[in-house]
Amino acid sequence: MDHQNTVQTNPFAATELYEFSMADGYFSNGMQDTVACFDLFFRRVPDHGGFAVMAGLEQAIAYLKNLHFSEDDLAFLKSQGISDAFLTYLRDFRFSCDVWAVPEGTPIFPNEPIVKVRGPVVQAQMIETMLLLCINQQSLIATKANRLVRAARGTAVAQFGARRAQGADAAIFGARAAYIGGCIASSGAAPVRDFGIPTLETMTHSWVQMFDTEYEAFCAYARCHPDDCTFVVDTYDTLRSGVPNAVRAFRDVLVPMGKRPKSVRIDSGDITYLSKRVRKQLDEAGFPDCDIMASNSLDERIIRDMVSQGAKVDCFIVGERLITAASEPLFGGVYKLCAVEQDGRIVPKINLSENVHKITIPSSKQVYRLFDMDSGKAIADVLTTDSEEIDDSKPYELFDPDFTWKRKEIENFVARPLLAPIFKAGECVYTSPTLHDIREYCAEQIDTLWDEVKRFENPHKYYVDLSEKLWEIRKLLIEEYKGVRK
């Protein structure tokens, strides 16, 4: 099945009108064939974390593969004042850019390019919004999911947030991103169907309320779902009613069928306290194999406290605070011009600002991640120009691009480029891994980070440094545009 069935391939669903206006302006100024290079990057990790998780690339690829303009699209653009010459160009549109990207599931850090686009400026400019939409939303949710998974310290985390998501696409692709980040399952039907994400069966309180007694409700559900039986036990009273009636239904319906219950779910109250009491009740009743699931507006800090307090929970179900990334619902990726090509040479471009943190890193770049060969841990990332390679057979000096006197020589390391070719002259040259493989890769790559980088509170800063050549290019451009050089 095509997993992109809900991708918005209509250009108006994913492009702001001023992108068309600028593209038309380039066209009318004879710049349509000028080759430009753009970087997609982000400036700050959500929730003041130490790293983020790359996600959303597969949907961006699907969009670029299918980008085209119908006659209705062209008629609308004409009504907005777009020139006939540009409309003719769009009628025969063929995507022809080169694209590189960091693979999904990779830990990523501020100010390094995670997607790079090179091609005619008309096209490279026009795809900005959709690239940001795909990468921002899914990277945000994958990052949040991984925080939850790390807080759970080995206890399973499931994503059940579809009803609180901000739109259908946010629910579907948010579930995909949450799975990349480490969640084990989703409640949504579409993510299960389209992406093969596992699901967990449960019941709602309304099921219990529909029957005259809680016991009757449990028995009816057990008869319908003998192989995947989960009861929600807090509709009336978890300890005095819910669990006793669940145990009775297990014995009266499941055991005679030769079946065992899967779990009970607690959705209210002091879940840490209740889970300990419920665990004891289930064990004493002869159901130590019946898991306990917990829900109710959970987040990573609540989960971390519950784990530290010895909660007897086998699966945390997280909804609204994951699917909306409620604590900080913004990833903040940006898309900036970094170079143009003139007469066969690369001309670096820089965006200066009164806000120092918004000054961009010029030139077309590669990102190297340096790994210590003894520990396997990531040491730092280094941005270089395209023409440079980091020779890991000899010592390499790292330096802080802001405080250049802070330097460190490293050796016995391996340098791995992160930006992989995705499109070459508009043709896709990349085969997306399976979602399961992306999820496993994500866990493996996060394991290469030091625990200090993964702290929730005041994480250690992971350095993203510049090569000497790239730092010099940036320094000279700043001086030129600030009037230091005449």
Determine the average pLDDT of the residues in 3-24: 70
Confidence of residue 13 (pLDDT cuts 50, 70, 90): low
Give residue 199's pLDDT. 92
Confidence of residue 343 (pLDDT cuts 50, 70, 90): confident
> Domain residue spans in the chain?
142-323, 356-418+453-486
Confidence of residue 9 (pLDDT cuts 50, 70, 90): low
Determine the average pLDDT of the residues in 209-219: 98
Question: What percent of the chain stands above pLDDT 70?
Answer: 97
Q: Give the highest mean pLDDT range of 22-26, 85-89, 218-222.
A: 218-222
Question: What percent of the chain stands above pLDDT 90?
Answer: 85
Give residue 454's pLDDT. 97
Determine the average pLDDT of the residues in 383-405: 94
Per-residue three-class SS string for the chain: CCCCCCCCCCHHHCCCHHHHHHHHHHHHCCCCCCEEEEEEEECCCHHHCCCEECCCHHHHHHHHHHCCCCHHHHHHHHHCCCCHHHHHHHHCCCCCCEEEECCCCCEECCCCCCEEEEEEHHHHHHCHHHHHHHHHHHHHHHHHHHHHHHHHCCCEEEECCHHHCCCHHHHHHHHHHHHHHCCCCECCHHHHHHHCCCCCCCCCHHHHHCCCCHHHHHHHHHHHCCCCCEEECCCCCHHHHHHHHHHHHHHHHHHHHCCCCCEEEECCCCHHHHHHHHHHHHHHCCCCCCEEEECCCCCHHHHHHHHHCCCCCCEEEECHHHHCCCCCCCCCEEEEEEEEEECCEEEECCCCCCCHHHCCCCCCEEEEEEEECCCCCEEEEEEEECCCCCCCCCCEEEECCCCCCCEEEECCEEEEECCEEEEECCEECCCCCCHHHHHHHHHHHHCCCCCCCCCCCCCCCCCEEECHHHHHHHHHHHHHHCCCCC
Q: Answer yes or no: is pLDDT of 397 > 90.
A: yes
Q: Answer yes or no: is pLDDT of 99 > 50.
A: yes
Confidence of residue 344 (pLDDT cuts 50, 70, 90): confident
- CATH number (3.30.565.10, 3.90.1150.10, 1.10.600.10, 3.20.20.70) of 142-323 reads 3.20.20.70
| pTM higher than 0.85 | yes
Confidence of residue 3 (pLDDT cuts 50, 70, 90): very low
Confidence of residue 239 (pLDDT cuts 50, 70, 90): very high
